[in-house]
Amino acid sequence: MARKFSIAAMAMELMESLLVRKPATVMYPIERLAPPDRFRGRMRYDPDSCTLCGLCQRDCPADVIKVVRKRVEREDGKKETVGHVEFEMDRCVFCGQCAYSCNSGSITFTKDFELAQPQRQLFMMKGEAEEVDDDACDADTEVVP
Amino acid sequence: MAKLDFPVGPQHPALKEPENLRFSVDGELVVDADIRIGYVHRSIERSCSERNFVQDLYLCERVCGICSNAHTQNYCQAVEAIAGVEIPERAQWIRMIMHEFERIHSHLLWLGVAGHEIGFESLFMYVWRDREVIQDILEMVSGNRGHYAMTMLGGVRYDIAPEMVTKIREGLAFLRQRAEYYADIATSEQTFLERTSGVGVVSGETCVQLGAVGPVLRASGVAFDVRRTFPYLQYDKVEFPVRTSELCDVLGRTLVRVQEVIDACDICTQCLDMMPEGDVNMRFPRKVPEGEAVARIEAQRGEVIYYVRSNGTDVPERVKIRTPTLANLPASLEMVKGGYIADIPIAFASIDPCFSCADRMVELNDVSSGDSRTMTWAELVKLSRRKS
Ligand code: SF4
Ligand code: SF4
């Protein structure tokens, strides 16, 4: 059953590996492989389009997202809802469910994969959203009166 | 010579995961073996009852880093069965393709690890280099190399775009050819044969009695594959053989897995040919009607079983998971008995164990008094916060 090796075949293989084949690995960080289009890297949050509906918070499996809404009185006496969304990105598992649940397209993912930070606080991300449609809001979100 | 008992682990160099093995040896021969698991219990089943059905999807995905797609598919199958939902046909084909992609990457990973365990490091390096091809394909289709988040309730997250199909076909053709080469190596390379042939022997009858599953069962001559016996998705429409081996040893398990890589490439090609156009997902109700379901699939390590019970809310009442490693552990103890101490690592590795997946319950016992203790959810949360 022993496998038969031919010296000539082995020499050919060696020459090929030395002269023709590229190494299987790359010299990171000098050389970087491009992530594919669907890659979920650094998260980008767009407060302008966010309606503070809270769907992302409801479905996030890692408790990353906290949607905070406030009722404030404008100068003309009318009340409006403002608020912000906080992201504790050190907990994020990059599943992409928040982007999938968001109906406003406010959450997207970039191809940036170098996300290490020296301190946990640097992972905190906050985006203020102004004047949102009350009807679009989910009942589960935290409301600060 | 007097028998010697010795413990191995929980921390030991053979595997990255903790488990405690106790061997009784007579000279170089293993006379008896026992195992204790439970060192990486993560409370996943209990945590599932604290989160909604969508969040649980990602929790189940993390039962195993290697079979992650198998777990989400199985979970979705159970929940979709309770909800009485039939997902779009194209989504079913894409789920099958992902299922087989995962089988290819997992079996190649195992082959590399087997090479490492027997001291055949060049095999490990070659196989893992080739495995990058399927990893790149998985990343292209799902966006991630592991924990793909591809399967979702009601279908799949992403479609397979036409421009991806060519790359996938090329990759599969390459992998098929490499798997044939590795099958040739496994049957003709003297180093490999001497370290695997006749090692870790367990008969088909013993496997059936001990409830072994997957390649371990098939390599002992029992032709059982959930994909064929209880077809799910569109497995009844594709052609593939149920690979078995009569060798009952590590070599047999290697051959079954390598041949399954070849078959998985063929299944994927058939899926790409037969896949109809259409939607890849549909709206899934947030609240799942009252009911219960059991789903079983043939993951790469063997049969995975999910039991899900819903009480009509958006949070499941119970999720029960049976992973293949748990089913294969009793058979793995039989494999090492009667063998040499030096063969223990490869005999254990031949079931492709994943101990983190297998830990489903922990009983807290005071060793001196024998008293058992129950911890509440609040106590567990407090303990985990203190430890992390
Ligand atoms: S789901 Fe989208 S719109 Fe709603 S709160 Fe989250 S980011 Fe804003
Ligand atoms: S990617 Fe997943 S874990 Fe991260 S914030 Fe979104 S939903 Fe949460």
B332-345 average pLDDT score: 92
Whether B191 and chain A come into contact, CB under 8 Å, resolves to no
Q: Which of A10, A3, A6 is nearest to B186 (CA)?
A: A3
Where do the domains of chain A lie, and which CATH numbers do they carry?
43-132 (3.30.70.3270)
Residue A93 CA: which ligand 2 atom is closest? 3
Q: What is the pLDDT of residue B9?
A: 82
Interval B104-138: pLDDT, tens: 999 999 999 999 989 999 999 999 999 999 999 99
Kindly give the distance from the C-alpha atom of residue A102 to the centroid of ligand 2, in angstroms, as a whole number. Answer: 11
In a domain, B10, yes or no: no
Phi, psi of B257 (to 5 degrees): -70, -45
Which of A48, A51, A133 gets mutated to test ligand 1 (max ligand atoms within 8 A of its CB)?
A51
Closest CA–CA distance from residue A83 to any residue of chain B (Å): 24
H or E segment and range at residue B284: none
**Residue with more model confidence, A61 or B371:** A61
Q: N- to C-terminal Cα distance for chain B?
A: 47
pTM beyond 0.80: yes
Q: What is the CATH number of the domain that holds B161?
A: 1.10.645.10
- Check pLDDT > 60 for residue A131: no
User: For the CA atoms of chain B, what is the radius of gyration?
Assistant: 21
User: For the CA atoms of chain A, what is the radius of gyration?
Assistant: 25
Averaged confidence pLDDT in chain B: 92
pLDDT tier, B376 (very low <50, low <70, confident <90, very high otherwise): confident
pLDDT tier, A132 (very low <50, low <70, confident <90, very high otherwise): low
Low-confidence winner among A9-18, B79-88, B197-206 (lowest mean pLDDT):
A9-18
Q: How big is the CA angle at B262 (ends B260 and B267), to the nearest 5 degrees?
A: 85
Q: What is the pLDDT of residue A3?
A: 54
Contacts of A100 in chain B (CB under 8 A): 152, 157
For tokens 């490499």, the residue is: B178
In a domain, B139, yes or no: yes
Q: Are B92 and B234 in contact (CB under 8 A)?
A: yes
- Check pLDDT > 70 for residue A70: yes
pLDDT tier, B39 (very low <50, low <70, confident <90, very high otherwise): confident
In a domain, B368, yes or no: no
Q: What is the pLDDT of residue B254?
A: 95
B70-81 average pLDDT score: 96
The answer to whether B55 contacts A2, with C-beta atoms less than 8 Å apart, is no
Kindly give the distance from the C-alpha atom of residue B237 to the centroid of ligand 2, in angstroms, as a whole number. Answer: 36
- Check pLDDT > 90 for residue A130: no
- Check pLDDT > 60 for residue A136: no
The Cα–Cα gap between A39 and A109 comes to 8
pLDDT tier, B172 (very low <50, low <70, confident <90, very high otherwise): very high
Pocket of ligand 2 (CB under 6 A): A 60-62, 64-65, 92-98
Closest CA–CA distance from residue A100 to any residue of chain B (Å): 9
Low-confidence winner among A3-17, A60-74, B152-166 (lowest mean pLDDT):
A3-17
Name which of B52, B58, B190 is nearest A93 (Cβ-Cβ): B58
Q: Are B300 and B70 in contact (CB under 8 A)?
A: yes
**Residue with more model confidence, A9 or A110:** A110
Sequence letter at residue A117? Q
- The ligand minimizing its distance to the Cα of B59 is 2
- Check pLDDT > 70 for residue A139: no
Q: What is the pLDDT of residue A11?
A: 86
> Residues 44..103 of B with a Cβ closer than 8 Å to A: which?
51-52, 54-59, 61-62
In a domain, B384, yes or no: no
In a domain, B388, yes or no: no
- Check pLDDT > 60 for residue A143: no
In a domain, B370, yes or no: no
- Check pLDDT > 80 for residue A137: no
- Check pLDDT > 80 for residue A145: no
- Tell me what ipTM this predicted complex has: 0.87
Name which of A3, A36, A97 is nearest B58 (Cβ-Cβ): A97
Q: What is the pLDDT of residue A56?
A: 96
- Picking from B44, B48, B135, B140 by the largest number of A CB atoms within 10 A of its own CB, the best residue to mutate is B140
The Cα–Cα gap between B327 and B213 comes to 7
Q: Are A65 and A56 in contact (CB under 8 A)?
A: yes
| Closest residue of chain B to A33, computed from CA coordinates | B136
Whether A39 and chain B come into contact, CB under 8 Å, resolves to yes
Nearest CA to ligand 1 atom 6: A56
Whether A108 and chain B come into contact, CB under 8 Å, resolves to no
State the Cα torsion B43-B61-B240-B192 to the nearest 10°. Answer: -70
A95-123 average pLDDT score: 93
Contacts of B143 in chain A (CB under 8 A): 36, 38-40, 96
- How many distinct structural domains can be found in chain B? 1
- Check pLDDT > 50 for residue B225: yes
**Residue with more model confidence, A3 or B104:** B104
In a domain, B33, yes or no: no
- Domain of B268? 44-358
Interval B306-332: pLDDT, tens: 999 999 999 999 999 999 999 999 999
Name which of A2, A38, A101 is nearest B158 (Cβ-Cβ): A38
In a domain, B364, yes or no: no
Low-confidence winner among A15-29, B38-52, B262-276 (lowest mean pLDDT):
A15-29
Q: Name, of A13-27, B15-29, B54-68, the range with top average pLDDT.
A: B54-68
- Check pLDDT > 80 for residue B1: no
The answer to whether A59 contacts B132, with C-beta atoms less than 8 Å apart, is no
pLDDT tier, B387 (very low <50, low <70, confident <90, very high otherwise): confident
Interval A34-64: pLDDT, tens: 999 999 999 999 999 999 999 999 999 999 9
B71-77 average pLDDT score: 96
